[in-house]
């Protein structure tokens, strides 16, 4: 008799363990693997249906365990038609409890993930700003800038050059702590940046920009275009005989394309390597979108998703 009671208790414990474990696994899947419970419009209905469907599994377990025992495992003292309702009520309570536990853990996890993403975004933004400032403040850049200034004899040219240089620094300082700028602001900054580059490289580089006016208010991470153009200049030959051609355009309303003819340098100066990686990281963190990089024997193309 005692052995029968121990066996019955073991089956009861196993029944409850498996049912609770099933609740946990199902809700973990629903919250982490599907978007069913994240749609605000249907969240209440979806949550209620999930709790009910999981609760109905108690009938499945009850039927399954009936093959292993001569006696009813759950609520044997309740006879007649009341037992299915009590079984369902108990299933709803357990299912609901596990739903709210899983939901609470999911919310905590999402908050932690959001905090980490914000920290990564700030780090990426800072890296982009510092990279741009380092490029402008590097001895090489300053040396070229001073040489260019000394070679300009007309006062108007000097004024224009210094004015555009000031615009570059102003944009870097203004947007170094902001996550996004508009495409119009970024292109306006690029015009100042290209003025300085073209003054130094003259006809060794040609940049054409063709972007629809309807897209000018689209958000873009600050300094994105500057990093990509700097990348092209750093890694490709640019001379009068082998002109570097950079094109910025939107082929459709999905991507902003930055392309250049591919003519790699034999020896590339030391690079921190954060240019293209930084753009990828910020697009992923800010917009949850990936940029597309295409490389052929004759061209290098970067496609930025238009948000």
152 and 289 share one domain? yes
CATH number for the domain spanning 287: value is: 3.30.565
At 79-132, the pLDDT tens digits run 667 777 777 788 788 888 888 888 888 888 878 888 777 777 777 766 666 565
Beta bridge pairs of residue 209: 248
Does residue 96 lie within any of the structural domains? Answer: yes
105 and 145 share one domain? no
Model confidence, pTM? 0.54
Does residue 12 lie within any of the structural domains? Answer: yes
pLDDT of 22 > 50? The answer is yes
Does residue 218 lie within any of the structural domains? Answer: yes
At 45-69, the pLDDT tens digits run 777 777 787 777 777 777 776 666 6
174 and 80 share one domain? no
At 69-80, the pLDDT tens digits run 665 656 666 666
pLDDT of 1 > 50? The answer is no
Does residue 125 lie within any of the structural domains? Answer: no
197 and 253 share one domain? yes
95 and 199 share one domain? no
164 and 280 share one domain? yes
177 and 299 share one domain? yes
Does residue 121 lie within any of the structural domains? Answer: no
CA distance 44 to 176: 42
Task: Write the DSSP symbol of residue 41.
Answer: G
> 139: buried, middle or exposed (CB in 10 Å: 19+, 13-18, 0-12)?
exposed
CA distance 307 to 284: 12
Number of domains forming the structure of the chain: 2
What is the reported pLDDT for 145? 62
Does residue 128 lie within any of the structural domains? Answer: no
Does residue 123 lie within any of the structural domains? Answer: no
For residue 99, the enclosing domain spans 2-115
278 and 147 share one domain? yes
Does residue 127 lie within any of the structural domains? Answer: no
101 and 189 share one domain? no
Q: Show which of 59, 80, 115 is a domain's final residue.
A: 115
CA distance 35 to 41: 12
169 and 266 share one domain? yes
Count of other CB atoms within 10 angstroms of residue 77: 6
10 and 66 share one domain? yes
């Amino acid at each position: 008799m005692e052995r029968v009671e121990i066996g019955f208790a073991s089956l009861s414990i196993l029944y409850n363990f498996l049912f609770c474990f099933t609740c946990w696994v199902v809700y973990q899947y629903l919250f982490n693997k599907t978007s069913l419970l994240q749609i605000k419009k249907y969240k209440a209905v979806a949550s209620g249906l999930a709790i009910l469907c999981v609760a109905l599994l108690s009938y499945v377990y009850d039927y399954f365990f009936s093959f292993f025992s001569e006696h009813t495992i759950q609520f044997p003292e309740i006879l007649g038609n009341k037992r299915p309702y009590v079984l369902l009520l108990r299933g709803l309570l357990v299912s609901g409890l596990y739903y709210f536990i899983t939901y609470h853990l999911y919310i905590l996890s999402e908050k932690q993930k959001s905090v980490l993403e914000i920290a990564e975004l700030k780090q990426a933004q800072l890296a982009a700003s510092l990279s741009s400032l380092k490029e402008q403040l590097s001895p090489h850049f300053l040396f070229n800038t001073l040489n260019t200034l000394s070679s300009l004899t007309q006062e108007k040219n000097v004024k224009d050059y210094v004015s555009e240089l000031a615009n570059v620094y102003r944009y870097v300082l203004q947007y170094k702590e902001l996550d996004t700028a508009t495409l119009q602001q970024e292109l306006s900054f690029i015009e100042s940046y290209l003025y300085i580059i073209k003054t130094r490289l003259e006809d060794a580089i040609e940049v054409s920009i063709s972007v629809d006016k309807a897209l000018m208010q689209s958000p873009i991470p600050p300094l994105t275009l500057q990093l990509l153009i700097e990348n092209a200049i750093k890694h490709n030959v640019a001379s009068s005989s082998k002109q570097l051609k950079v094109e910025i355009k939107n082929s459709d309303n999905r991507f902003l394309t930055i392309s250049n003819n591919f003519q790699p340098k034999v020896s590339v100066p030391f690079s921190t390597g954060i240019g293209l990686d930084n753009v990828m990281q910020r697009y992923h963190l800010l917009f949850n979108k990936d940029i597309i990089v295409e490389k052929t024997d004759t061209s290098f193309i970067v496609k930025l998703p238009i948000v």
